[in-house]
């Protein structure tokens, strides 16, 4: 008790010095918690966006992940509905799964030949079940998803309705029809000698697919999508473009097409067996990801299926890169803060030892052991660290609250629209809170140990002679 | 010499040499002496004669270069650092010229501090601390910190701190040097009274004539060597 009393009073004795050192610790804790909260929020928001779009896990045909992008149609999962049933009804997986839905990836050429247009370009397409996709977009485990922006959507009741990327809409001259803002018309091309035969073929194919030759009542712009079927034959379907889904990455935005699964399957498989390139699983909680993945692998092995499982991080290397980048920045900041705290506490405690050398000699003469001296200064170090770190935590809560109520917005990497700028509060991240607090208190204690050892080793008579 | 007056301090051929760079400085040169119990003994000599070094050796806060030192019957040269610290905590009280109170503790807490080092129960600590505070006349200043006390009051606290654990020996290094003559006289009277009450051995290092007049045994040293040893007639008679 006397140890704590003396330690506390000595901290208060040099108020200005303690305040400066305490400020370094408090600001260090605050900076790490605020930046940690910012990173935590980015990770949560990024993960939420990915899980809403591509789920936690996707089952592919073996080899799709490595080679499938070149020819998705060749990697369709046979009888995918049976596989989905097996997964959905598995007693281990069932309570974990929120949404299970098939997807079809495809490549092809999109053409706009209506209203005097004569534009075509390659596209990266995805076929989805609209209602499942809509349900996936409501996943918000961390409470960080921005409110849904009203806009055009796919519908289970509109089998030909799709969305395209903003870049693709510009390139194909759909801006006026889609009422897009800030969307210049594509420049006129004079060299039509090579495009014409393709256009004529596409139009003819489209008309043969639509079949009737009747004039179709179209209320939205239409694209003709040409792709090779799994058998290698060309196939065309018509896509009603309901609107634009702007993508955050330009290359994707220039090539993006999303459509109902049945339409994508019709394009890729024609009248053959309709397959899916992926079975997407969205879980209730991300923490089940590893267990769900392990169970899926067990099921695949038990049923001798030629399938593989990939998680959202594997499918999005950019996510991993962002996580690593921010983690490295956080570690760097933590290192700088740690060094500042270390030097501040060492400096303060060294000055304390120098000023109290005579006092050290006195109490050593009275019978205090070397360890008693060491304990005295170490106690002062950790007490100063603990009080300052606690102040830092309080400051972090205040800064977080101020930022979270400021109404700031920002554009996350890969996003097309701004989202509210928020920080995860320390309470949301108890491990970060505890780790930062404990880390800096331990650092302050360690920093005090160096001058404390020096104090403990002082010969009593030398300490008593010190003026 | 009766058992009552058996030496509490015995020095045999003690030498203390300091090494200052390549130069050896002899602070104590082959001193042998016995100091009996419950006596008001003085080590006197001019500045730089080795008084404080001798006191430090007796107080077990410094080690001799050679020779043997027994304190309270213990050969302290053989004790390890922690054991020596515990030995000091139990047996030796210190009074310093500059008072050397712990500045962040009140007068009460400064006096209580040595009792904590010997692990005394709280109730007994309180009883003893209050008793000694009363004895030195500082009950009213119990809660005051050293910076709120006068020089005389600080030295009273230092005396109380040295005596509260009822040590065998109290070592006082120039205890009146920083006090005016009136306060010095009062402090000497207080130490005399406390010594009489507690039957403690006091060993002073001093060149204060006022204090020396109370000596029951005087060791005079010069240039680190014992040059005279005086026992006043009254003391000798009492011892006989």
Quick: pLDDT tens for B34-50.
999 888 899 999 988 99
Cα gap A126→A265, rounded to integer Å:
10
* Sign, CA torsion B93/B98/B99/B105: negative
Flag whether pLDDT at A84 surpasses 90.
Answer: yes
Chain B CB contacts of A2 below 8 Å: 109, 113, 116
Cα gap B156→A298, rounded to integer Å:
83
Mean pLDDT of chain B: 88
Q: A3 falls in which pLDDT band (50, 70, 90)?
A: confident
Write out pLDDT tens, residues A313-360. Answer: 999 988 899 899 999 999 999 999 999 999 999 999 999 999 999 999
B56, B90, B100: residue with CB nearest A358: B100
Q: Count the helices and strands in chain A (H runs, E runs).
A: 17, 11
B56, B92, B118: residue with CB nearest A461: B56
Chain A CB contacts of B103 below 8 Å: 13, 359
Residue of A1, A366, A467 to mutate when probing chain B, most B C-beta within 10 A: A366
Coil, strand or helix: which one is A144? coil
**What is the largest distance, in Å, between two alpha-carbon atoms of chain A?**
111
Cα gap A276→A311, rounded to integer Å:
17
Q: What is the mean pLDDT of residues B55-82?
A: 92
Q: A392 falls in which pLDDT band (50, 70, 90)?
A: very high
Distance from CA of A465 to the nearest CA of B (A): 10
Is the CB of B109 less than 8 angstroms away from the CB of A5? yes
A362, A368, A459: residue with CB nearest B117: A368
What is the structure's pLDDT at A413?
Answer: 66
- Nearest alpha carbon to residue B31 among B232, B216, B220: B220
Nearest 5°: the CA angle B28, B32, B37 is 115
Pick from A171-175, B90-94, B153-157, B187-191: least confident = B187-191
Distance from CA of B114 to the nearest CA of A (A): 7
What is the structure's pLDDT at B92?
Answer: 94
Pick from A90-94, A213-217, A237-241: least confident = A213-217
User: Bridge-partner residues for B63, per DSSP?
Assistant: none
Q: A232 falls in which pLDDT band (50, 70, 90)?
A: confident
Write out pLDDT tens, residues A159-186. Answer: 999 999 999 998 888 888 888 877 777 6
B225-230 and B217-222 beta bridge pairing: antiparallel
Q: A262 falls in which pLDDT band (50, 70, 90)?
A: very high
Percentage of residues in chain A having pLDDT higher than 90: 60
Write out pLDDT tens, residues A89-136. Answer: 999 999 999 999 999 999 999 998 877 778 889 999 999 999 999 999
- Nearest alpha carbon to residue A141 among A312, A327, A323: A312
Q: What is the pTM of this model?
A: 0.77
Cα gap A97→A103, rounded to integer Å:
16
Q: B179 falls in which pLDDT band (50, 70, 90)?
A: confident
A9, A13, A367: residue with CB nearest B85: A367
Coil, strand or helix: which one is A1? coil
Chain B CB contacts of A10 below 8 Å: 104
Flag whether pLDDT at B67 surpasses 50.
Answer: yes
Flag whether pLDDT at A67 surpasses 60.
Answer: yes
Mean pLDDT of chain A: 87
What is the structure's pLDDT at A74?
Answer: 80
Q: How far, CA to CA in Å, does A17 sit from each of A344, A413, B149, B184, B204?
A: 10, 43, 25, 37, 39
* Sign, CA torsion A165/A169/A174/A178: positive
A15-54 and A317-355 are packed helices; what angle lies between their axes, rounded to 10 degrees?
170
Chain A residues with at least one Cβ partner in B under 8 Å: 2, 5-6, 9-10, 13, 358-359, 361-371, 459-461, 464
B82, B103, B117: residue with CB nearest A366: B117
Q: What is the mean pLDDT of residues A387-395?
A: 95
Residue whose tokens read 């007049």: B213
What is the structure's pLDDT at A62?
Answer: 92
Q: What is the mean pLDDT of residues A403-424?
A: 79
Q: Which residue has the higher pLDDT, A408 or A30?
A: A30
Residue of A8, A367, A369, A458 to mutate when probing chain B, most B C-beta within 10 A: A367
Q: B1 falls in which pLDDT band (50, 70, 90)?
A: very low
Chain B CB contacts of A464 below 8 Å: 56, 61, 96, 100
Is the CB of A363 less than 8 angstroms away from the CB of B104? no
Task: State which residue of chain B sits closest to A368, comparing Cα positions.
Answer: B85
Coil, strand or helix: which one is B205? strand
Is the CB of B82 less than 8 angstroms away from the CB of A369? yes
**Phi, psi angles (nearest 5°) of residue A462:** -65, -40
Pair of tokens at residue A352? 């304390």
What is the structure's pLDDT at A213?
Answer: 43
Question: In the 8-state DSSP scheme, what is residue A276?
Answer: B
Flag whether pLDDT at B234 surpasses 90.
Answer: no
- Nearest alpha carbon to residue B111 among B54, B149, B76, B81: B149
Q: A306 falls in which pLDDT band (50, 70, 90)?
A: very high
Is the CB of A368 less than 8 angstroms away from the CB of B62? no
Chain B CB contacts of A379 below 8 Å: none
B81, B82, B102: residue with CB nearest A363: B102
Is the CB of B96 less than 8 angstroms away from the CB of A464? yes
What is the structure's pLDDT at A183?
Answer: 76
Coil, strand or helix: which one is A131? helix
Q: A466 falls in which pLDDT band (50, 70, 90)?
A: confident
Distance from CA of A3 to the nearest CA of B (A): 10
Listed in sequence order, the residues at least 6 apart from A402 whose beta carbon sits closer than 8 Å to its beta carbon are none
Task: State which residue of chain B sits closest to A467, comparing Cα positions.
Answer: B98
Is the CB of B94 less than 8 angstroms away from the CB of A13? no
Cβ-Cβ contacts under 8 Å between A and B: the total is 70
Residue whose tokens read 């430090």: B56
Q: What is the mean pLDDT of residues A365-376?
A: 94
> Cβ-count burial of A407 within 10 angstroms (0-12 exposed, 13-18 middle, 19+ buried)?
exposed
Pick from A81-90, A223-232, B181-190: least confident = B181-190
Is the CB of A5 less than 8 angstroms away from the CB of B89? no
Q: Which residue has the higher pLDDT, A110 or A212?
A: A110
Nearest 5°: the CA angle B1, B3, B6 is 70
Q: Which residue has the higher pLDDT, B237 or B103?
A: B103
DSSP string for residues in A320-375: HHHHHHHHHHHHHHHHHHHHHHHHHHHHHHHHHHHHTHHHHHHHHHHT--HHHHHH
- Nearest alpha carbon to residue B177 among B217, B146, B209: B209
Flag whether pLDDT at A389 surpasses 70.
Answer: yes
Question: Please, what is the end-to-end C-alpha distance for chain B in angstroms?
Answer: 7
What is the structure's pLDDT at A214?
Answer: 44
């Amino acid at each position: 008790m006397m140890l704590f009393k003396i330690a506390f009073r000595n901290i208060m004795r040099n108020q200005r010095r303690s305040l400066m050192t305490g400020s370094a610790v408090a600001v260090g804790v605050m900076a790490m918690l605020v930046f940690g909260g910012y990173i935590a929020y980015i990770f949560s928001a990024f993960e939420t966006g990915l899980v809403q779009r591509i789920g936690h896990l996707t089952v592919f045909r073996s080899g799709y992940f490595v080679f499938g992008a070149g020819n998705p149609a060749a990697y369709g999962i046979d009888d995918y509905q049976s596989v989905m049933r097996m997964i959905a009804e598995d007693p281990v997986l069932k309570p974990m799964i929120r949404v299970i839905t098939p997807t079809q990836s495809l490549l092809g050429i999109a053409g706009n030949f209506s209203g005097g247009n004569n534009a075509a370009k390659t596209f990266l397409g995805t076929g989805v079940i609209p209602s499942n996709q809509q349900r996936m977009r409501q996943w918000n485990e961390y409470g960080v998803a921005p409110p849904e922006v009203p806009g055009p959507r796919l519908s289970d009741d509109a089998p030909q309705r799709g969305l395209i990327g903003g870049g693709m809409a510009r390139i194909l001259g759909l801006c006026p029809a889609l009422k897009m803002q800030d969307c210049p018309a594509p420049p006129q091309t004079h060299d039509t000698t090579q495009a014409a035969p393709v256009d004529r073929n596409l139009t003819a194919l489209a008309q043969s697919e639509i079949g009737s030759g009747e004039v179709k009542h179209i209320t939205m712009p239409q694209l003709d999508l040409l792709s090779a079927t799994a058998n290698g034959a060309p196939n065309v379907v018509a896509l009603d473009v309901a609107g634009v889904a702007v993508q955050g990455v330009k290359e994707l935005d220039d090539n993006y097409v999303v459509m109902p699964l049945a339409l994508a399957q019709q394009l890729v498989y024609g009248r053959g067996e309709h397959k899916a390139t992926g079975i997407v699983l969205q879980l209730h909680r991300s923490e089940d990801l590893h267990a769900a993945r392990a169970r899926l692998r067990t099921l695949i092995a038990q049923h001798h299926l030629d399938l593989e499982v990939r998680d959202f991080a594997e499918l999005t290397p950019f996510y991993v890169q962002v996580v690593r980048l921010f983690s490295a920045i956080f570690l760097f900041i933590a290192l700088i803060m740690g060094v500042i705290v270390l030097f501040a506490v060492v400096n303060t405690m060294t000055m304390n030892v120098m000023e109290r050398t005579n006092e050290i000699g006195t109490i050593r003469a009275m019978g205090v052991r070397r360890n008693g001296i060491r304990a005295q200064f170490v106690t002062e170090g950790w007490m100063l660290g603990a009080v300052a770190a606690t102040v830092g935590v309080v400051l972090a809560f205040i800064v977080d609250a101020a930022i979270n109520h400021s109404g700031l917005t920002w554009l996350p990497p890969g996003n097309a629209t701004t989202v509210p700028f928020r920080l995860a509060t320390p309470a949301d991240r108890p491990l970060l809170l505890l780790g930062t607090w404990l880390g800096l208190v331990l650092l302050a204690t360690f920093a005090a140990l160096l001058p404390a050892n020096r104090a403990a080793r002082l010969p009593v008579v030398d300490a008593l002679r010190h003026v | 010499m009766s058992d009552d007056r058996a030496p509490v301090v015995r020095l045999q051929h003690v030498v203390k040499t300091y090494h200052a760079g390549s130069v050896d400085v002899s602070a104590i040169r082959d001193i042998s002496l016995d100091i009996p119990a419950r006596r008001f003994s003085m080590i006197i000599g001019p500045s730089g004669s080795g008084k404080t070094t001798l006191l430090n050796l007796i107080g077990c806060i410094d080690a001799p270069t050679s020779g043997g030192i027994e304190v309270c019957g213990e050969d302290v040269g053989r004790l390890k650092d922690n054991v020596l610290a515990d030995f000091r905590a139990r047996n030796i009280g210190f009074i310093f010229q500059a008072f050397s109170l712990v500045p962040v503790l009140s007068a009460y807490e400064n006096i209580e501090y040595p009792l904590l080092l010997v692990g005394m129960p709280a109730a007994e600590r309180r009883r003893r601390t209050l008793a000694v505070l009363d004895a030195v006349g500082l009950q009213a200043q119990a809660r005051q910190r050293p910076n709120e006390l006068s020089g005389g009051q600080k030295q009273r606290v230092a005396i109380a701190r040295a005596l509260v654990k009822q040590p065998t020996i109290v070592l006082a290094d120039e205890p009146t040097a920083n006090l005016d003559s009136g306060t010095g006289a009062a402090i000497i009277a207080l130490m005399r009274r406390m010594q009489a009450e507690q039957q403690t051995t006091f060993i002073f290092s001093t060149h204060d004539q006022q204090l020396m007049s109370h000596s029951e045994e005087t060791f005079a040293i010069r240039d680190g060597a014992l040059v005279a040893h005086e026992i006043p007639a009254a003391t000798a008679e009492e011892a006989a």
